């Protein structure tokens, strides 16, 4: 690290990947437009910080409307020239497999970049985010050759068949909590279906998206098929949502912003898919395997510092085991090592930004003001720098408190007692959200009954947080609409054409 500037050396203390450090030294980071890395038209840049020490990692181009217009122009040309959609399915599949291979080959570098930029423990980046991104590209590589139309029964004088065709130019706006993984969830199915993509990563965490863009260029995709515009929501994100020549927008993020994007899409009635917030009920019955339920519940709320849309933030515990369970969950929280996320022993890093840190601190104060008790935590971390929050378990919570109604997006569990199955279903569904839920019980009949009654896009039984590219993910109610992953994502990125041919 002697060759690294003093400021970068300080910002990346603990990093071991020479490739990651070399990437960070080449600044400022640029926009990917038409296969070339270019500065923003305004010349503006912004800083991306290491949230563990609040120091600058890199300068990044600040794209805005002019840059989005340029990207759309080249994306439209690439789509209309059939540079991608008219490649043979086998050729497109090979490109996606190549991207998956490159992600795996650069896994150590990407994991460190993700941890430096986001703050999540390296343990999570290396074992969840990066492998999951590669698996997603590989999964959709297999789908390229399996996007079928149908022949339909019709009058004998007619032949009717359907085609699944790509939607066109897809704007994709991703969040900061799983940057590379969310990029793969968006890009891979869109490319599999023959679309072209303009990706806007979150301004807090642009680095792995930029590095992915470099790997995509290395894989040899045609110019204009994947373009990356870094910048802020107002400016870059809003221009994508409003653009009259973008055919579809896919967004993952807050419900508030999702509603803005939906309104903006009305100009040209572009297709929209939204994966938004959550306030997921995690239900503990007395006959659950308690050690497993405690571990799974801790994973459900403390993974990625609770910055997970499907986090089990409302922990419903039946009254007879409420004290026992919250004691055990608090004890497990006390064992989580909070510190430098590059340390392989760290299990909780900082929140992603000062804005998020302030937001979560506000919820900690609100919970206490409403009468909830912090059985453990309830305070910021004690580190000298960085956006740390102690893992927190609130008891004495009722389902009408602010900390039970609003998405905190931090390591804060609200433990709520319930009387019986009917009570917990009513309370669990009493929310604006419907992204996920979990049920812990040895009674499989009860588990399946409650799972069916819960209004959520995903329900886990005796586990929490399991995701796989083969299985759909999305929400009910204000958690959004549309399903990512699995075969269902093909519906998001294709449209159906019916063809009639008169015979004779």
Among all residues, which ones are annotated catalytic? 275, 309
Instruction: Using alpha carbons only, give the angle 264, 265, 268 rounded to the nearest 5 degrees.
Output: 120
- How far is Cα 168 from Cα 195, in angstroms, rounded to an integer? 5
Closest CA to 122 of 301, 304, 295, 300: 304
The answer to whether residues 171 and 240 touch, using CB atoms and an 8 Å cutoff, is yes
Listing DSSP states for 152-182 in one string gives E---TTEEEEEEEEE--EEEEE--SSSHHHH
CA–chain centroid gap for 138, Å, is 18
- How far is Cα 221 from Cα 240, in angstroms, rounded to an integer? 22
Closest CA to 46 of 33, 31, 66, 36: 31
Listing DSSP states for 306-371 in one string gives G--TT---EEEEEGGGHHHHHHHHHHHHHTSPBS-TTSTT-SB---S-HHHHHHHHHHHHHHHHTT
Per-residue burial over 161-175, b if 16 or more Cβ lie within 10 Å, else e, is eeebbbbbbbbbbbb
Cβ neighbours of residue 226 closer than 8 Å, sequence gap 6 or more: 32, 187, 191, 196, 197, 199, 213, 216
Cβ neighbours of residue 121 closer than 8 Å, sequence gap 6 or more: 115, 341, 346, 347, 348, 349
Listing DSSP states for 190-254 in one string gives HHHTT-EEEEE--TTS-HHHHHHHHHHHHHTPPTTSEEE--B-IIIIIHHHHH-TT--EEEEES-
CB neighbours of residue 442 within 10 Å: 12
The answer to whether residues 118 and 179 touch, using CB atoms and an 8 Å cutoff, is yes
Place of tokens 């041919």: 501
Q: Which residues pair with 317 in a beta bridge?
A: 284, 417
- How far is Cα 176 from Cα 178, in angstroms, rounded to an integer? 6
Q: Phi and psi dihedrals of 279, rounded to 5?
A: -145, 65
| The two structure tokens encoding residue 226 | 């994947």
Per-residue burial over 119-128, b if 16 or more Cβ lie within 10 Å, else e, is bbbbbbbbeb
Cβ neighbours of residue 418 closer than 8 Å, sequence gap 6 or more: 283, 316, 317, 318, 319, 424, 427
């Amino acid at each position: 690290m002697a060759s690294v500037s003093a400021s970068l050396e300080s910002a990346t203390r603990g990093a071991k990947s020479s490739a990651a450090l070399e990437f960070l030294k080449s600044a400022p980071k640029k926009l990917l437009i038409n296969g070339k890395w270019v500065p923003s038209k305004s010349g503006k840049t912004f800083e991306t910080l290491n949230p563990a020490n609040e120091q600058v990692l890199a300068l990044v181009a600040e794209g805005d409307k002019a840059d989005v217009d340029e990207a759309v122009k080249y994306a439209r040309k690439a789509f209309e020239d059939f540079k991608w959609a008219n490649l043979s399915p086998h050729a497109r599949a090979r490109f996606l497999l190549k991207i998956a291979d490159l992600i795996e080959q650069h896994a150590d570098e990407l994991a460190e970049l993700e941890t430096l930029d986001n703050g999540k423990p390296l343990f999570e980046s290396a074992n969840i985010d990066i492998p999951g991104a590669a698996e997603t590209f590989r999964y959709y590589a297999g789908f390229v050759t399996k996007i079928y139309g149908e022949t339909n029964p019709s009058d004998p004088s007619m032949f009717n068949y359907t085609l699944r065709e790509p939607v066109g130019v897809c704007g994709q706006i991703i969040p900061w909590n799983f940057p590379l993984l969310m990029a793969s969830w968006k890009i891979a199915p869109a490319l599999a279906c023959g679309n072209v993509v303009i990706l806007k990563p979150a301004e807090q965490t642009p680095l792995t998206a930029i590095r992915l863009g470099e790997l995509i260029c290395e894989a040899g995709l045609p110019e204009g098929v994947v373009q990356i515009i870094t910048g802020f929501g107002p400016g870059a994100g809003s221009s994508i949502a409003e653009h009259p020549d973008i055919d579809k927008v896919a967004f993952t993020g807050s419900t508030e912003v999702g509603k803005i994007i939906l309104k903006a899409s009305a100009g040209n009635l572009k297709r929209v898919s939204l994966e938004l917030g959550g306030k997921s009920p995690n239900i503990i019955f007395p006959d659950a395997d308690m050690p497993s339920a405690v571990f799974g519940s801790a994973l459900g709320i403390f993974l990625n510092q609770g910055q997970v849309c499907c986090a089990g933030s409302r922990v419903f515990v039946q009254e007879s085991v409420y004290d026992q369970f919250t004691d055990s969950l608090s004890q497990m929280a006390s064992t989580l090592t909070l510190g430098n996320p590059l340390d392989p022993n760290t299990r909780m890093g900082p929140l992603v930004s000062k804005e998020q840190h302030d937001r979560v601190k506000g919820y900690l104060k609100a919970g206490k003001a409403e009468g909830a008790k912090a059985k453990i935590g309830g305070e910021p971390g004690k580190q000298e720098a960085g956006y740390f929050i102690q893992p927190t378990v609130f008891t004495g919570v009722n389902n009408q408190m602010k900390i039970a109604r609003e998405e905190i997006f931090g390591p804060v569990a609200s433990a709520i007692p319930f009387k019986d199955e009917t009570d917990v279903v009513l309370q669990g569904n009493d929310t604006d959200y419907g992204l996920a839920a979990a049920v812990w019980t040895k009674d499989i009949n009860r588990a399946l009954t409650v799972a069916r009654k819960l209004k959520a896009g995903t329900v886990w039984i005796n586990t929490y947080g399991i995701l796989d590219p083969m299985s759909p993910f999305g929400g009910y109610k204000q958690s959004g609409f549309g399903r990512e992953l699995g075969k269902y994502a093909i519906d998001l990125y294709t449209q159906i054409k019916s063809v009639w041919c008169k015979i004779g």
